[in-house]
Each structure stands twice: as C-alpha cells, then as structure tokens.
Amino acid sequence: MNEVYFQVWRANVGRCPVYLLDTNRPENEQRYRDLTLRVYGGDSTTRIMQEVCSVSACAPPAGARCSTLGVHMNEGHAAFLTLELVREKLDAGKSFQDALAQSKAECIFTTHTPVEAGHDRFSRDLVITC
C-alpha cells in the first residue's frame, strides 16, 4: 500500500472525545480518498484497506492532550489494531504473553451481527498484498 494521509476529526460525545479518521485528503490518490467514505460496503480490497487503516488509531492525534484508557472495536473492523497494540508492547521490551495480556485489557469489543455472514474473510494473498 502506498502512503495514506489522514485528517483526524474530534467529536465530543458527552465527556468523551472520539477521534474519527478521514482519508479524503488532496494528498491521497482517489482510491484512498474514498476509504473512509462509507463504513460498510465496497469490495474485499476496500474492506481490508479500511481495516489496515485501523492501525492508525493506536497513536493519539498530534497535539492531543489525552490518555487512552482503551480502544473500542466494533465487529472485526479494527482487527489489525489488536496486532499493532501487541507489536508496540513487544517493541517496548515486553514478553509476548505480557504484551498480549495488556493489549486484551485495553480492548473493548462489541458486535451487532453475531452470525457467520456478518464477518469479513480475506484470502492470504489479499492480506499480503495490502
């Protein structure tokens, strides 16, 4: 994947800031600008690219003064985020078991489609390509 630029939008939901990622930036090729246009829909390539973009949610936006208590993942749409959380802890010198346990404690998972058809599946070739 080429470099993709994001605009980060902050929305206050009650007392909680929510950061939304937006790829509709002039620096991006059109196919990347549309990544965050819709959450649902698109082909498998669009869907996996959206999920890979979830890794960007690990780092707070530049200049943000916040502490992250956890990350909310709806369905599998942020599945790669869990891998990034573990990787960051491994890079900081944690053992795999400690990194995994700490990452699990940071994740909040919800689903509204608890059936097989509600979850994306990607071929190995597509994962490697993206």
pLDDT tens across 117-128, in order?
A: 777 788 889 888
Amino acid at site 12: N
Across 90-94, 104-108, 110-114, the highest mean pLDDT is recorded for 90-94
Does position 65 have pLDDT exceeding 60, yes or no? no
> What's the pLDDT tens digit per position in 20-60?
888 999 999 988 898 888 876 678 888 888 877 767 656 65
d(CA 63, CA 87): 23
Q: Which two tokens stand for residue 59?
A: 């780092």
- pLDDT above 80 for 84: yes
Token representation of residue 41:
């829909």
Q: What is the residue-averaged pLDDT of the chain?
A: 81
Of the CA atoms within 13 Å of residue 61, those in its CB half-sphere come to 14
**Which of 1-5, 39-43, 67-71, 101-105 is the most confident on average?**
101-105
Highest mean pLDDT among 10-14, 57-61, 73-77, 118-122: 10-14
CA distance 28 to 5: 6
Length of the chain: 130
